[in-house]
Structure 1
Amino acid sequence: MIRLHFTAEDLCRITLAPAANALAETVLGARLGLRPGGRGGGGRNPGQTRRTRSAVREWDRSPRGGPGLRAGVLAELLAEDGFVPDFLLQPGIQDLSGALEAAVATPVERLALDLGIPEAEGWNGGLVRPGRWARELAQGSPAASRALLHETRDFFARRVEPLWPRIRRDILADRALRSEMLLRGGVEALLTTLGTTWRWRYPTLHLPSASTYDVPLCGRGLLLVPSWFATGPSVMYRPEAATVLVHPLYEAAGEGAEGDERPEALAALLGRTRARVLALLRTPATTTALAERAGVSLPAASHHAGVLRAAGLVDTVRTGTAVLHSLTPLGHSLLAGTAP
């Protein structure tokens, strides 16, 4: 379990990334392609079982996704248990060229710490067995830096750029949804709905992980970075700035949830309106927002949510003066057609 500990100052300093981050998407896409079935870790959160969105699974099976990253410095940096070194996450620079230049300009002392090289000089949270490329990069080798630049640009051009318009659109949609949560339910609603298996209990956000870390935010806040390719959380601690949390998109933001046929298939079981309400809750909503989306009255929305909650398909939490409804894992499975 990774635990992010908030102070009152941190809760006032939660920000959303303005747009898709090209370097982060390239690195996370490359990491996914190195692992069969889209299994991976990330940042300081390796070794966890992840849930991959259907759009990403489709990309992973396509000719431009899946295995195929050439052996080299980028593959080596991502090859150990899903680890992503912090210097490859440049959260303040959205364009690929600028972020890559910043990454290769990282001081060698910082590179060595990120990669766990040498292990005796810092926390060994990096690669388990650093290879030749990683060691040369950490020693400031110009050849290793050029190789990293070339391989990352090549992977972006071949595998990510064809999807870039969709990735940018889906990430902007996710940002809009998070903003709606913040506007309608405040910080409590935003943190409660970040992930279906994540747990917010003031003042701590709990993220499932095979390892245990406690990360105090120290009043510097939290930057939320949505990712199209992320299959779980990645945490980047920055002692001089806000901690970064890279998180997967809402399923609805990238899947076109309202346009699929599953609610029609569930209509005979739940009723047409209730099946639609269930589908709409792929994106968590307050009762007021749910009524607006479904085109029903406020009492009707509350009633439908209550029935679905009693069936174990919806979870409801109070956030200040409002209540927030979201799907349970069973609700997600039923919509996906995978419920037992």
Structure 2
Amino acid sequence: MLRIHFTDADLARTRVAIAPDPLWEICASLHRFQTRRGRWAYADWHRGARARLQATAFTRTLRTLLLPLVPRAAYFPDFLTPPEATEGLDAGLEAILATPQRRVLDEVGILSRTSGAPSWAPRLAEPGLRKELVQALRTYYDMVIAPYSDHVQARIEAERSARARGVLDGGVEGILQNLGPDLRWQRPVLHAVYPEDRDLYLNGRGLLLVPSYFCWGNPVTFGDTTLDPVLIYSLSHEPHHTALPGDLGSGASLGALLGRTRAAALRAVSTGATTGELARATGVSASSASQHATALRDAGLIVSHRHAASVLHTLTPLGAALLRANAPASR
């Protein structure tokens, strides 16, 4: 069990990441190759990723370089997920290259003692092997993460919408409620299922919550408690529809494509909407709004997630593209 202890100052400084963290997503996706747990939620991704890796003969690098450094265990080196990655992949990789040698050796030593490190791991303190690692991470991201980035971003935006509603409904503490079955808020402590028993005292630093598409099961945080606190947690996953083919910019109005009421529902979902809000926005009953939401969901235009006692609807990348393609032209 991980217990994260908050003060009032920590609550005021708690926030949700604005975008997927590319290096945390790399590490979490590497865990997906090491277990069949939750495989159903990533089935399409897993098939496509394996095919691309095999087609480029990258599987050897994956097996001999990346997977040994990021075992699905209680620890992997913190320097692989620097906070600079919130500014993008390039910034994160530059931070890995700039990590002091002493820190690299210390964290490789922890990996060796806890999970077992490959014999070559201490050489990561040298610039040559670390440059090779960074290049491998970039190649892996381009092949395995980037093709799915629109879908991942849409899911993160849906989660941020849910957290924002939590603040409106329950104040700042509303962010920490309903984060999933592995997280429980009991003021002033956030309890998380974790592979080891730990206490993390924020001491006024606040907490950055990083929703992760590829994280499955228990949340993840830094091993080094002196680093700025972050908590990587899993999104809820449901079977999703594959994006529909076709030209979205046909010139037909959205109302002609979907019908006036359903088009209004899709527009209402653009900023996130519950079923009740859809009903008010479209002027129909709650049951009719639910039927319209089902039709839009079946068409792959929206996703729906349970949020407290309501169901929150948000756009998929396909739904967002349809709205953009049919937006009135700027003067």
Instruction: Report the TM range for the smaller structure's normalisation.
Output: 0.5 to 0.7
1:168: Cα distance to partner?
1.9
SS where residue 235 of structure 1 aligns? coil
1:188: Cα distance to partner?
2.8
Aligned length: 251
1:16: Cα distance to partner?
1.3
Larger Rg: 2
Match of 1:177 among 162, 166, 185: 162
Distance in 2 (CA, whole Å) between partners of 1:118 and 1:59 is 29
Match of 2:80 among 72, 82, 88: 88
Match of 1:56 among 29, 42, 45: 42
Distance in 2 (CA, whole Å) between partners of 1:189 and 1:203 is 13
Contact 1:16–1:225 (Cα < 8 Å) also in 2: yes
Distance in 1 (CA, whole Å) between partners of 2:182 and 2:108 is 29
Gaps of 5+ in 2: 242-272, 288-306, 312-331
Residue of structure 1 in register with 2:29 after alignment = 29
Contact 2:11–2:206 (Cα < 8 Å) also in 1: yes
Deviates more, 1:213-222 or 1:181-190: 181-190
Equivalent pairs: percent with the same residue? 32
Q: Compute the TM-score of the two structures, normalised by the length of structure 2.
A: 0.65
Q: After the TM superposition, which residues 157-168 of structure 1 pair with which residues of structure 2 at under 5 Å, given as runs?
A: 157-168=142-153
Match of 1:156 among 136, 141, 150: 141
Distance in 1 (CA, whole Å) between partners of 2:278 and 2:107 is 45
Contact 2:97–2:127 (Cα < 8 Å) also in 1: no
Deviation sequence 1:247-302 (CA, Å, 0-9, x none): 112436x947xxxxxxxxxxxxxxxxxxxxxxxxxxxxxxx966435769xxx99x
1:117: Cα distance to partner?
4.9
Q: Compute the TM-score of the two structures, normalised by the length of structure 1.
A: 0.64
Gaps of 5+ in 1: 40-51, 257-287, 302-322, 328-340
Distance in 2 (CA, whole Å) between partners of 1:167 and 1:148 is 24
Deviates more, 1:194-203 or 1:73-82: 73-82
Deviation sequence 1:7-47 (CA, Å, 0-9, x none): 111111101112122222122212322x131x4xxxxxxxx
Contact 2:71–2:115 (Cα < 8 Å) also in 1: no
Contact 2:26–2:141 (Cα < 8 Å) also in 1: yes
Judged with a 3 Å threshold, the aligned counterparts in structure 2 of structure 1 residues 157 and 289 are, in CA distance, closer, same or farther, namely closer
Query: Quick check: 1:233 aligned with 2:219?
Result: yes
1:62: Cα distance to partner?
3.5
Query: Quick check: 1:116 aligned with 2:95?
Result: no
1:162: Cα distance to partner?
1.1
Matched letter for residue 26 of structure 1: I
Match of 1:142 among 103, 108, 127: 127
Distance in 2 (CA, whole Å) between partners of 1:20 and 1:235 is 15
Residue of structure 2 in register with 1:129 after alignment = 116
RMSD: 3.3
Matched letter for residue 132 of structure 1: S
Moved over 6 A (4+): none
Judged with a 3 Å threshold, the aligned counterparts in structure 2 of structure 1 residues 60 and 83 are, in CA distance, closer, same or farther, namely farther
Residue of structure 1 in register with 2:303 after alignment = none
